[in-house]
Structure 1
Amino acid sequence: MQRVLTAILACLSMVGALAIDTYLPSIPAIGRDFGVGPVAVQQTLSVFLFTFAFMMLFYGTLSDSFGRRPVILAALAVYTLASAGAAMAPTFGWLLVFRALQGSAAGAGSVIGQAIVQDRFKGADAQRIMSHVMMVFGLAPAIAPILGGWLHVTFGWRSTFVFLALFGALMVAAVWKLLPESLPREQRHAFHGGAIARNYLKVLGHPQFLLLALAVGLAFGGLSIYIGSAANFVMDILGLPETAFAWMFIPLISGMVIGSAWGGKRASRIAPATMLRIGYGLMALACVLNVGYAAFVQDRVAVPWAVLPLMVYTFGLAVAMPAIQVGALALFPDNRGLASSMLAFVQMMSFALISGLVAPLLFGSAFKLACGVAAGMVASFAAYRLAGVAGRRGAVAA
């Protein structure tokens, strides 16, 4: 049963990743089809990410009040309908509307999935399950752009949204039949505005939690820079065709999958602080290799050397992040859904801002992209260290 649960939670976390990555090879064709420029088409990603992040604020609280299953099922239904609408969008404006609806519904599974893990597991067991979920989840960004490229070449860009609608329908059926409710009625919170507002303020007023959430978001900023720049990096910088996105995404995600598997096996034997040091050390090494290579060849980058440092980076990311996530959620044992929402919101807002606003500023230069990842890693480590300081101050004050 634990394997089935892990697989379903991982697939739920893949919903958003598939909606982000599958259509990336089609971005230039969408612009040509609707007669809009690359900056405008980039907003199909930005509007998705912003609504994705915004709704993450509420899914955890809704699941704390109404249960995990009903909220996931309702969100998946909206996601499926929005994906079908995007496939049939008659204008670019309608495509943006359906992308916004997709984003608003895509985050429920990943947010509530973290709360389900905390409902059913504790300590090293929870960290191991989170690592396993991340390992399976990591397959989505590797497979999605490759599948999207072939769908685009064979059937056109609208076929990618047909695929997303079918995946959403499949997940509705899987959750309905296989995912049990993990939050008993007697443990649910009443849906009262005043109480909910107080709980949000409690989480927002906790400096250690906010800094840990920011550390996660900034560390994933390395992924968001390259995902937001995927079409530019693969097709313009590397000079590869629409079907060659595997050159970027397979190393990027292989590192995360292998790192998650390695970290999950050692979660009960290696202290979280040691895992964090290993993870951040590997991310720092990857940034040095990435920046050094791009500077040495002066942006005449080529595969595989341009993408191998990304594999090292995501390996370190997968080793370090589960310990931070579990530690952050453990600060609010009575409000796991809300804490999960806030953690996901900070992570996705960082993702949205970096991929939508920062990544376009780095287009056309492998060196700038590499420096952007390094800056995010340094800022993430600084936030993690400040979180430790805030935690010690809070313990002294208590």
Structure 2
Amino acid sequence: MNPDSHLLWRRPRWALAMLLACLGSLGPFAIDTYLPAFQGIATSLSATPAQMQQTLSAYLFGFALMNLFHGALSDAIGRRPVVLGGLIMFTLASLGCALSESIGALIAFRALQGMSAGAGIVVSRAIIRDMFPPADAQRVMSQVTIFFGVAPAVAPILGGLLFVHAGWHSIFWLLTGIGALLIVLNARLLPETLHLDQRQSFHPVPLLRGYGQLMGNPRFVALLFASGVPFNGMFLYVLSAPEWLGTHLALGPTQFFWFFVLTISGIMGGAWFSGRMAGKLPPRRQIRLGFLVMVSVSVLNVLLNLVLKPHPAWALLPVAVFAFGWALMAPVVTLMVLDLAPDRRGMASSLQACVGSIANGVVAGVIAPLVMHSTVALSVASFALMSVGLIAWTWVRRRNP
């Protein structure tokens, strides 16, 4: 923690949480806004479905790759330069997307977007722990999660409206404007939170040694899996939404919002409760409570799908409750990850984001296409993904009572 942290931010704590949430939301927002325009972009640029999928794959690959370096770079030169540099690159890449007239150009600029968008997610976590002691950091992390939950709900609606009324290019003009606004806000408001005495070398030898030390720590790796994989028990349903909601639950496109409203309400509710429990409930008990909620509702979800015909009246609620359980424990596990490397919190955050991105990619590219055609298979896969995190946390708890 920065010894001068009390001098760096004089505004309300929620204002910093909102600023950091905007940074963290930029990456997911840049995905969700353009998804409603997928078919329109393909028609406009004479692109095949496979080429359109590459615009998403290039973004996700760039996002995962650079997640390994954003945090380590911020440990070396400071948090603020990495945030501002990432925002500038994102804004220019968004401008390139808006001006693209070929699918090849769009793929290239989407890759640049992905490479830069992750800076906000990675560095914002490190900033929180730079600024606050554990209990306060948990409260701020929970506030960030609450604000973060708004982006996935708003992004598809904005993207769809812009596509219908102004064409697909307008979506990327919106992202360009958001990027420019965040540059101005962070240039004016965001303090440098990494103390000079805590800076690390970015030379390849100590950098690789640092990565090796963290990945060679079984407790650190287990916590990465405990924090990064359970999210996909919920995210699997988001990725499978067109098939699950449209085919299995027979909902029309205008009714999909009920799923997103309930799920995001679960995330925001869990994050709010996590913040309220900070300093009152021991962190390990809070994590146990979060996993208890996820295990219970996952088992119930599997049983309901085995015995009942799929119906929106009961099928949407288990995913929302699962989201509540995940948001209840995620801020606490994230802080445990960062505190295992107090002198390299940026690197720890990078590795956490990278593991999460890889898990998201595997679920999106492999698991979801295999199970989305069966509601039973979806519920079992969701339970299995949650179980990976549960097993990892159980190992941590038993090895470090």
TM score, norm. by length of structure 2: 0.91
Does 2:68 correspond to 1:54?
Answer: no
Partner in structure 1 of residue 5 of structure 2? none
Contact conserved, 2:14 with 2:140, CA < 8 A, in 1?
A: no
User: For residues 185 and 134 of structure 1, what CA distance do their matches in structure 2 show?
Assistant: 29
Q: 1:27 to 1:307 in 2, by over 3 A?
A: farther
User: For residues 331 and 261 of structure 2, what CA distance do their matches in structure 1 show?
Assistant: 21
1:181-200 to 2 correspondence within 5 Å?
181-200=192-211
Q: Letter of the aligned partner of 2:16 in structure 1?
A: L
User: What percent of counterpart residues are identical?
Assistant: 41
Partner in structure 1 of residue 220 of structure 2? 209
Q: 1:171 to 1:230 in 2, by over 3 A?
A: farther
Contact conserved, 1:207 with 1:390, CA < 8 A, in 2?
A: no
User: For residues 364 and 146 of structure 1, what CA distance do their matches in structure 2 show?
Assistant: 26
Contact conserved, 1:6 with 1:132, CA < 8 A, in 2?
A: yes
* 1:315-374 alpha-carbon deviations (Å, 9 max, x no partner): 000101111111121111111111111111111111122122222222333333222211
Q: Shift of the alpha carbon at 1:241?
A: 4.9
Between stretches 280-289 and 256-265, larger displacement belongs to: 280-289
1:216-255 to 2 correspondence within 5 Å?
216-255=227-266
Q: Letter of the aligned partner of 1:76 in structure 2?
A: L
Please give the secondary structure, in 1, of the residue aligned with 2:312.
Answer: coil
1:322-337 to 2 correspondence within 5 Å?
322-337=331-346
* 1:29-83 alpha-carbon deviations (Å, 9 max, x no partner): 3344445555553343333222211111101111111111111011111111212
User: For residues 243 and 40 of structure 1, what CA distance do their matches in structure 2 show?
Assistant: 27
User: For residues 45 and 295 of structure 1, what CA distance do their matches in structure 2 show?
Assistant: 34
1:161-180 to 2 correspondence within 5 Å?
161-180=172-191
- Structure 2 unaligned segments of length 5 or more: list them: 1-10
Q: How many residues align?
A: 390
Does 2:34 correspond to 1:23?
Answer: yes
Partner in structure 1 of residue 390 of structure 2? 381
Q: Pick from 332, 345, 366 the counterpart of residue 357 of structure 1.
A: 366
Q: 1:167 to 1:303 in 2, by over 3 A?
A: farther
State the Cα RMSD in Å. Answer: 2.1
- Structure 1 unaligned segments of length 5 or more: list them: 393-398
User: For residues 313 and 177 of structure 2, what CA distance do their matches in structure 1 show?
Assistant: 34
Does 2:119 correspond to 1:108?
Answer: yes
Q: 1:32 to 1:285 in 2, by over 3 A?
A: farther
User: For residues 209 and 338 of structure 1, what CA distance do their matches in structure 2 show?
Assistant: 12
Q: Letter of the aligned partner of 2:22 in structure 1?
A: C
Does 2:15 correspond to 1:4?
Answer: yes
Q: 1:226 to 1:99 in 2, by over 3 A?
A: farther
Does 2:309 correspond to 1:262?
Answer: no
* 1:9-36 alpha-carbon deviations (Å, 9 max, x no partner): 1111110120122222223433444455
Between stretches 160-169 and 195-204, larger displacement belongs to: 160-169
Q: 1:110 to 1:291 in 2, by over 3 A?
A: same
Between stretches 23-32 and 281-290, larger displacement belongs to: 23-32
Q: Letter of the aligned partner of 1:381 in structure 2?
A: L
Please give the secondary structure, in 1, of the residue aligned with 2:324.
Answer: helix
Contact conserved, 1:50 with 1:103, CA < 8 A, in 2?
A: yes
Between stretches 271-280 and 257-266, larger displacement belongs to: 271-280
Contact conserved, 2:80 with 2:192, CA < 8 A, in 1?
A: yes
Does 2:159 correspond to 1:134?
Answer: no
Q: Pick from 149, 158, 170 the counterpart of residue 147 of structure 1.
A: 158
Contact conserved, 2:122 with 2:346, CA < 8 A, in 1?
A: yes
* 1:148-191 alpha-carbon deviations (Å, 9 max, x no partner): 22223323333322222221111111101111110133321233
Partner in structure 2 of residue 396 of structure 1? none
Does 2:296 correspond to 1:305?
Answer: no
Partner in structure 1 of residue 381 of structure 2? 372
Contact conserved, 1:127 with 1:267, CA < 8 A, in 2?
A: yes
Between stretches 339-348 and 237-246, larger displacement belongs to: 237-246
User: For residues 255 and 126 of structure 2, what CA distance do their matches in structure 1 show?
Assistant: 37
Q: Shift of the alpha carbon at 1:379?
A: 1.3
Q: Shift of the alpha carbon at 1:87?
A: 2.6
Does 2:91 correspond to 1:80?
Answer: yes
Q: Letter of the aligned partner of 2:278 in structure 1?
A: A
Q: Letter of the aligned partner of 1:107 in structure 2?
A: G
Partner in structure 1 of residue 354 of structure 2? 345
Q: 1:295 to 1:86 in 2, by over 3 A?
A: farther
TM score, norm. by length of structure 1: 0.91
Q: 1:365 to 1:275 in 2, by over 3 A?
A: same
User: For residues 262 and 292 of structure 1, what CA distance do their matches in structure 2 show?
Assistant: 28
Please give the secondary structure, in 2, of the residue aligned with 1:176.
Answer: helix
User: For residues 19 and 232 of structure 1, what CA distance do their matches in structure 2 show?
Assistant: 23
Q: Shift of the alpha carbon at 1:230?
A: 3.4
Q: Shift of the alpha carbon at 1:147?
A: 2.1
Q: 1:137 to 1:204 in 2, by over 3 A?
A: same
Please give the secondary structure, in 2, of the residue aligned with 1:305.
Answer: helix
